[in-house]
Chain A
Amino acid sequence: MITPNLTWILLLPLFGLGFVCLLPADKTSLIRRISGVAVLLPFALSVWVYVAYDHVAGGFQFVQNIPWVVPFGISYHLGVDGINSLMLLLLGAASLAAVLISGSIKERVKEYYVLLLITIIGTYGAFLSLDIFFFYFFHEVAAVPVFLMIAIWGSERREFAAMKLTLYLVAGAAIALIGLLALYLATGLQTFDLVAIQQQLASHPIPMATQNWIFPLIVVGFGITLTLWPFYTWAPVGYAEAPTAISMLHAGVLKKMGAYAIIRFAIQLMPQAAHAWMPIIAALAIVNIVYCGLVALTQRDLKYILGYSSCSHMGYILLGLACFNTIGLNGVVYLMFAHGIMAALAFALVGFVSEQTRTRNLDELGGLLKCMPFIGTCFMMAAFASAGVPGFANFVAEILVLLGAWDQYRWLTVFAVLGLVITAIYLLKAIRLGFQGPLDPKFSKLVDAQTLSAKFPYVMLLALLILVGCLPSVILTHIGSSTKTIVESMR
């Protein structure tokens, strides 16, 4: 049987990038087409990887391992398990949608796609790597392209937003790097290979005193990426000012690298410290949920609402991470996927609306359902998904997290449920002010997404949300096969 070769997931977009670089800048339609193919192919491969992954056998599959820097024990080590195969799927779908909705970019098209492709390649690399060094390496590759994309193609406060976002994320990454290096040195194995470190630490855990200071470095470092309260302030402004594709990718996927890293490197490798520290993180998570939710309530800008909403929902991920049980961790991974798709969809829709109306302010909008029924309906569905209405993927994910948390943190869970109510309030408010009510005459000429190709990205993301929401087992079997071993190692 032919098995998928994971390196191609990186090489195909890299070839696409090379082609785009070589093309003259004025061949915009060709550049767009090549970029589309360059993200479609790895998406297709990711689907194949996902389908071919044997969740009964579990563990890491399709592994490729090439020694890279021998003295330090760095190797180019790729492989997937139930968690990152799902993340590949998420990235594939989000990146395809992001490239497809970028048609409205008219200036400096070539540079745009070059930077976008670099961001996507870096993120694929991070999710594929089973080597701590290469995870970090790929995860940082995206930082500067994202800065440039926000600063060049963003809205009014773009330069401020770009700088703030980048500095926060790099600060987090630097803290995390120190934690990872300390972890590497503490194992005494002279290898960055995650699998080898996992095996070693399962039998010889790092001394508690050492774990106790390495763990917070990694969790706070990557927590900044995951908008852990109080380090979340970069996100709302960053997402609001970024071009649509970057808001989609960052809120949808890049941010999830933080959660992914915390699962892989912090919780699984240092379970003792996790038991000591995670209750604190759980409390912060509740602040995330409630505080960011309340801030979202006060916002009038659609993108800011989504930005704060995204910070608020990261609270559920953090809460789930603190549960130490299978159901909670399943919920976390489920939510990473569900929220990723939902966020990508919501930002894409808001991007569409604001390009048409030239405003994102709810006070100026209104009645948009009348002139753009398709986009409006999609937005309402995305909002329902986000608020945890059954039938959408987010519902399953949030229920799992809350069930997991109930055993551990009774009171915190009550507040977490309250967060869902807050979500519903601000999203319903956004729908009422933005999409219902009388239509402002100046908006009467607006056009909806009409052609099939224009509708496709939204339909695809929405279909994924509904599919996964109605048939949880499609992804739960994959997730379960991997979370089981992680939770076992935490006992």
Chain B
Amino acid sequence: MIIPVINWSLISLEVLISIILVFLVVMDIALPKNTKKDWIGISSFIALLGLIIFWSTQKDLTGVTFSGMFVMDSLAWFFKGFFLIAMVFVFAMTQEFFKSLGERRNEFYLLLWLALIGMCLVASSADFLLMFISIEILTISLYVMTAYLKSDKLSIEAGMKYLILGSLASGFFLYGISFLYGITHSTHFNVIQSYCEIHVMAPMTLFAMVLIFAAVGFKIAAVPFHMWVADVYQGAPTPVTALLSVGSKAAGFVVLIRLFFGIFGAWHLEWSLALAILSAITMTYGNLVAMFQTNIKRLLGYSSISHAGYLLMGAAAGSALGVSGINFYLLGYLFTNLAAFLVIIVFSIATNSDEIEDYAGLSQRSSLLALTMLLSLVSLAGMPPLAGFFGKFTLLMAVIKSGYVWLALIAGVNIVISLYYYLMVVKRIYVDAPRHTSAIIVPRGIQLLLIAAIIGIVVIGIFQGPFLDAAMAAVNGMYLAHL
């Protein structure tokens, strides 16, 4: 038996994260129970910043290890950075969120770290087994975090819904993998890919692909796998909602890219129409339902469905441009959506409400919160000069280039619909008179983060070049790319 040589440098980021996790577990046990100071949160924060620096040195690291199970390529690198930055925001949100709750904060941090490992591994999977396990690591920690507020009915309900539907999705995923294994005798992407290149649209393989797509559709919240979204978004603790809407969705899109532009890339012509139709339905459904929401978290839940629809346009385009569009869009979406959730957290701590009507007159209670919400909503709607605009621009260009002008037109209609409900919130914040005039105080740390998010939204929106280059580079160096 040959023991495969393992290239540890490729997997060093994940190893480091695991070490940090273990260290934090020990710290949690060792620290006296009644310490006021949030040591784990602070060390997590420092560790994350360190990890981002470490990640930035890994740019040119490429290769496959663990007998071809683990891959480090440009796509993985791009998304790991994405997840790390998202986590910085989520940790800060958590810190803020648990200030009012107090207990069981440390375990939550540990779960977040676990989710981070899962996401990073998803980005690097080159084998269905590893991919399944890493998705499960991510999802199981999300189950726990969703139901974390034990005394809150909505949180428990959200957790149950997410667990049941999530398990169903995992079942589909496994079922699909088992078919693929039966056909190709392997779970390695490269083996399955070469099989698919020869046997285009082989019925059994196609069936497996559809099953796997159902699981991915669940992760990215595409119609018809979206049933869980609104309730879970509303019920889950807001930092988890933020993680679901950005991190988990992005993880789903990494899988999608690996599947449709790698393994099943040879079938492009056949699947792209199906994805285009799905994209149109998803964005239209999300936007139409979002119009009638009165709770800001539910509104963003449905809006996140519609954004999955926009993102699917990039997949439907089936070109390198489309994937670059997805990457760029997600990058803008990261800052935009996290900024919105930051505002929601600060606001709900101050007023104990997530109802949109309570946002009335926010501009007179805290100009920073109001401005952040304005910019992020307008950016979500895709108006220049903000990040969301150029993402939509790139995706529209990609679908028109691939000949789906009708999809671009539907997207155009959707932009108008979405603008309507985003502007209704903006109207509440800036036009309506406040019910309570008391000022909302934003903690110093959150202020910095809000400003960072605003800078992110505006800079990505105006100086698109470097970010587009990064999004394109991620595609160009992709392992097993079939574009």
Seen from chain A, the residues whose Cβ lies within 8 Å of a Cβ on chain B are: 68-72, 74, 111, 133, 136-138, 140-141, 143-144, 147-148, 151-152, 159, 162-163, 166-167, 170-171, 174-175, 177-178, 181-182, 184-185, 213
With A152-B430, A178-B409: A166-B419 Cβ-Cβ less than 8 Å = yes
A68 close to B419 (CB less than 8 A):
no
B431 at the interface (CB under 8 A from A): yes
Instruction: Please list 5 pairs of residues, one from A and one from B, whose beta carbons are closer than 8 Å in the complex, sorted by A's number.
Output: A69-B464, A72-B468, A137-B389, A141-B383, A177-B396
B400 close to A185 (CB less than 8 A):
yes
Alpha-carbon distance between A162 and B419 when the two chains are bound, in angstroms = 12
A181 close to B468 (CB less than 8 A):
no
Q: How far is the CB of B278 from chain A (nearest CB, A)?
A: 20
- Return chain B residues, CB-CB under 8 Å to A175: 409, 412
B117 at the interface (CB under 8 A from A): no
B360 at the interface (CB under 8 A from A): no
Q: How far is the CB of A177 from chain B (nearest CB, A)?
A: 7
Alpha-carbon distance between A197 and B468 when the two chains are bound, in angstroms = 23
A68 close to B465 (CB less than 8 A):
yes
A182 close to B412 (CB less than 8 A):
no
0/1 per residue, B396-420, Cβ < 8 Å to A?
Answer: 1100110001001100110110011
Alpha-carbon distance between A71 and B470 when the two chains are bound, in angstroms = 11
Chain B stretch 153-196: residues in CB contact (< 8 A) with chain A: none
0/1 per residue, B300-315, Cβ < 8 Å to A?
Answer: 0000000000000000
Q: How far is the CB of B288 from chain A (nearest CB, A)?
A: 15
Seen from chain B, the residues whose Cβ lies within 8 Å of a Cβ on chain A are: 363, 378, 383-385, 389, 393, 396-397, 400-401, 405, 408-409, 412-413, 415-416, 419-420, 423-424, 426-427, 430-431, 464-465, 468-469, 472
- Return chain A residues, CB-CB under 8 Å to B424: 163
- Return chain B residues, CB-CB under 8 Å to A111: 363
Q: How far is the CB of B475 from chain A (nearest CB, A)?
A: 11
B384 close to A141 (CB less than 8 A):
yes
With A143-B383, A181-B400: A148-B419 Cβ-Cβ less than 8 Å = no
B397 close to A71 (CB less than 8 A):
no
A141 close to B385 (CB less than 8 A):
yes
Select one of A68, A144, A159, A162 contacting B383, CB under 8 A. Answer: A144
- Return chain A residues, CB-CB under 8 Å to B426: 144, 147-148
Q: How far is the CB of A104 from chain B (nearest CB, A)?
A: 19
Select one of A70, A137, A151 contacting B431, CB under 8 A. Answer: A151
A71 close to B472 (CB less than 8 A):
yes
- Return chain A residues, CB-CB under 8 Å to B385: 137, 141
Select one of A71, A159, A163, A174 contacting B420, CB under 8 A. Answer: A163
Q: How far is the CB of A27 from chain B (nearest CB, A)?
A: 16
Q: How far is the CB of B308 from chain A (nearest CB, A)?
A: 19
A69 close to B465 (CB less than 8 A):
yes
Alpha-carbon distance between A163 and B417 when the two chains are bound, in angstroms = 11
With A141-B383, A141-B384, A177-B412 given, name 19 new contacts (CB 8 A). Answer: A70-B465, A137-B389, A138-B384, A144-B426, A147-B423, A151-B430, A163-B423, A163-B427, A167-B416, A170-B419, A174-B412, A174-B413, A174-B415, A174-B416, A177-B393, A177-B396, A182-B405, A184-B397, A185-B401
Q: Which residue of chain B lies nearest to A151 when distances are taken between CB atoms in the complex? A: B431
Q: How far is the CB of A165 from chain B (nearest CB, A)?
A: 11
- Return chain A residues, CB-CB under 8 Å to B427: 151, 159, 162-163
- Return chain A residues, CB-CB under 8 Å to B431: 148, 151-152, 159
Alpha-carbon distance between A163 and B426 when the two chains are bound, in angstroms = 11
Alpha-carbon distance between A167 and B413 when the two chains are bound, in angstroms = 10
- Return chain B residues, CB-CB under 8 Å to A170: 383, 415-416, 419
A166 close to B423 (CB less than 8 A):
yes
- Return chain A residues, CB-CB under 8 Å to B420: 163, 167
Alpha-carbon distance between A170 and B384 when the two chains are bound, in angstroms = 11
- Return chain B residues, CB-CB under 8 Å to A163: 420, 423-424, 427
Q: Which residue of chain A lies nearest to B397 when distances are taken between CB atoms in the complex? A: A181
B389 close to A178 (CB less than 8 A):
no
B430 close to A148 (CB less than 8 A):
yes
- Return chain A residues, CB-CB under 8 Å to B472: 71
Alpha-carbon distance between A177 and B415 when the two chains are bound, in angstroms = 12
- Return chain B residues, CB-CB under 8 Å to A177: 393, 396, 412
- Return chain B residues, CB-CB under 8 Å to A166: 419, 423
- Return chain B residues, CB-CB under 8 Å to A174: 412-413, 415-416
Q: Which residue of chain B lies nearest to A125 when distances are taken between CB atoms in the complex? A: B385
- Return chain B residues, CB-CB under 8 Å to A138: 384
- Return chain B residues, CB-CB under 8 Å to A171: 412-413, 416
- Return chain A residues, CB-CB under 8 Å to B465: 68-70
Alpha-carbon distance between A167 and B287 when the two chains are bound, in angstroms = 15
Most buried by B among A68, A140, A148, A152: A148
Alpha-carbon distance between A170 and B382 when the two chains are bound, in angstroms = 10
- Return chain B residues, CB-CB under 8 Å to A152: 430-431
Give 8 nearest A-B pairs by CB, closest first: A174-B412, A171-B416, A137-B384, A69-B465, A151-B431, A140-B384, A178-B408, A181-B400
Alpha-carbon distance between A181 and B404 when the two chains are bound, in angstroms = 12
Most buried by A among B413, B416, B430, B464: B416
Alpha-carbon distance between A137 and B383 when the two chains are bound, in angstroms = 8
B419 close to A167 (CB less than 8 A):
yes
Alpha-carbon distance between A181 and B400 when the two chains are bound, in angstroms = 7
A71 close to B468 (CB less than 8 A):
yes
- Return chain B residues, CB-CB under 8 Å to A181: 393, 396-397, 400, 408
